[in-house]
A and B are shown apart, each in its own frame.
Chain A
Amino acid sequence: MKSINLIISFVCFSSVVFAQQENTQYIHKHLMRADASIVAGYLFKEGMNNVHINGSAEYYLDNKVSIRGSASYLLGCSGLTKDSIGLKDFHSIYLGGAYHFPTKGHFDPYVILQPGLSYTSSYKSGPPALMDGQEQIRKYYPGVLTPLATAGVGFNYYFQRFAHLFLETRYVYAQHLSQAPSPISLQELRVTFGLGFNLFIIKDKKRIPTA
Chain B
Amino acid sequence: MNKLILMVLLLPMISKAQEHLDSESGYFQLGMRNVVSTFNEDGATGFGYGGQFRIRVLSRVNTDWYADYITTDIGGLARREDLHIGWSVLAYPFNCTTTKGKITPYILAGHCFDYSKATKNDDGFSLDKLSSAVQGGIGMHYNITDRTDISLTAQYMMHLGKDIHAEVEEIDGLKEVHIEKNQVRGIEGHMLINVSLNVRLFDMWDQHHKRKKTAEA
How many Å lie between the Cα of A67 and that of B31 in the bound state?
10
- The answer to whether B199 touches A61 (Cβ under 8 A) is yes
Which chain B residues border A64 with CB–CB below 8 Å?
144-145, 148
Interface of A: prevailing SS: strand
- Give a binary string over A28-64; 1 marks a CB under 8 Å from any B CB, 0 the rest: 0000000000000000000000000000000001101
- The answer to whether B76 touches A182 (Cβ under 8 A) is yes
Interface check B70, CB cutoff 8 A: yes
Closest chain A residue to B121, Cβ basis: A179
Interface centre among B47, B50, B70, B124 (most CB of A within 10 A): B47
Which chain B residues border A180 with CB–CB below 8 Å?
121
A145 and B69 in contact, given A179-B121, A179-B122, A182-B76 (Cβ under 8 angstroms): yes
B interface, size bucket: 20 to 34
Rounded to whole Å, the gap between the CB of A45 and the closest CB of chain B is: 13
Contact among A65, A117, A145, A174 for B145, CB-based, below 8 A: A65
- The answer to whether A183 touches B76 (Cβ under 8 A) is yes
Interface centre among B73, B147, B197, B199 (most CB of A within 10 A): B197
Closest chain A residue to B123, Cβ basis: A179
How many Å lie between the Cα of A64 and that of B150 in the bound state?
14
Q: Which residues of A from 145 to 187 have beta carbons under 8 Å from B?
A: 145-149, 173-175, 177-183
Contact among B47, B50, B70, B199 for A67, CB-based, below 8 A: B199
How many Å lie between the Cα of A117 and that of B150 in the bound state?
20
Rounded to whole Å, the gap between the CB of B74 and the closest CB of chain A is: 9
Which chain A residues border B69 with CB–CB below 8 Å?
117, 145, 147
A177 and B71 in contact, given A115-B34, A149-B34 (Cβ under 8 angstroms): yes
Which chain A residues border B33 with CB–CB below 8 Å?
115
For A, the interface residue count at a CB cutoff of 8 angstroms equals 30
How many Å lie between the Cα of A174 and that of B47 in the bound state?
8
Which chain A residues border B48 with CB–CB below 8 Å?
147
Q: Which residues of A from 53 to 108 have beta carbons under 8 Å from B?
A: 61-62, 64-65, 67, 95-97, 99
- The answer to whether A95 touches B199 (Cβ under 8 A) is no
- The answer to whether A97 touches B71 (Cβ under 8 A) is no
- Give a binary string over B121-135; 1 marks a CB under 8 Å from any A CB, 0 the rest: 110100000000000
Rounded to whole Å, the gap between the CB of A121 and the closest CB of chain B is: 14
A116 and B147 in contact, given A145-B69, A177-B79, A179-B124 (Cβ under 8 angstroms): no
- The answer to whether B121 touches A181 (Cβ under 8 A) is yes
Rounded to whole Å, the gap between the CB of A210 and the closest CB of chain B is: 15
Q: Which residues of B from 48 to 74 have beta carbons under 8 Å from A?
A: 48-51, 69-73
Interface, chain A (partner B; CB < 8 A)? 61-62, 64-65, 67, 95-97, 99, 113-117, 144-149, 173-175, 177-183
Query: 3 nearest interchain CB pairs?
Result: A147-B49, A177-B79, A149-B34
> Can you report 23 residue pairs joining A to B where beta carbons are below 8 Å apart?
A61-B148, A62-B145, A64-B148, A97-B197, A99-B145, A99-B148, A113-B150, A115-B49, A116-B49, A117-B49, A145-B71, A146-B71, A147-B48, A149-B34, A149-B47, A175-B73, A177-B71, A177-B72, A177-B73, A178-B121, A179-B124, A181-B121, A183-B79
Interface, chain B (partner A; CB < 8 A)? 32-35, 47-51, 69-73, 76, 79, 119, 121-122, 124, 144-145, 147-148, 150, 197, 199
